[in-house]
Amino acid sequence: MARGLGKGIGALFPSETLESIQKDEHIEKIPLQKIVANPFQPRKKFDDEAIEELAQSIREHGIIQPIVVRKKGKKYEIVVGERRYRAAKLANLGEIPAIIKEMTEEQMMELAILENLQREDLTPIEEAEAYQSLIEKLNFTQDDLAKRLGKSRPHITNMIRLLQLPEEVRELVNEGKLSMGHGRALLGLKNKRQMIEVAKKVINQSLNVRQLEALIKQLNEKVSRETKQKPKKDIFVQATESQLREFFGTNVQIKKTKNKGKIEIEFYSEDDLERILEILNLNHEEL
Dist CA 262 CA 198 (whole Å):
29
> Are residues 69 and 101 in contact, defined by beta-carbon separation less than 8 angstroms?
yes
Dist CA 150 CA 29 (whole Å):
35
> Are residues 146 and 153 in contact, defined by beta-carbon separation less than 8 angstroms?
yes
Determine which one of 49, 52, 53, 82 is catalytic.
Answer: 82
Q: Annotated catalytic, 82?
A: yes
State whether residue 75 is helix, strand or coil: strand
Dist CA 159 CA 188 (whole Å):
14
Q: How far is CA 256 from CA 236, 238, 242, 250, 263, in A?
A: 12, 12, 16, 20, 9
Dist CA 140 CA 114 (whole Å):
13
Q: What is the distance of C-alpha 165 from the center of its chain? A: 12
Point out the residues that are catalytic.
Answer: 82
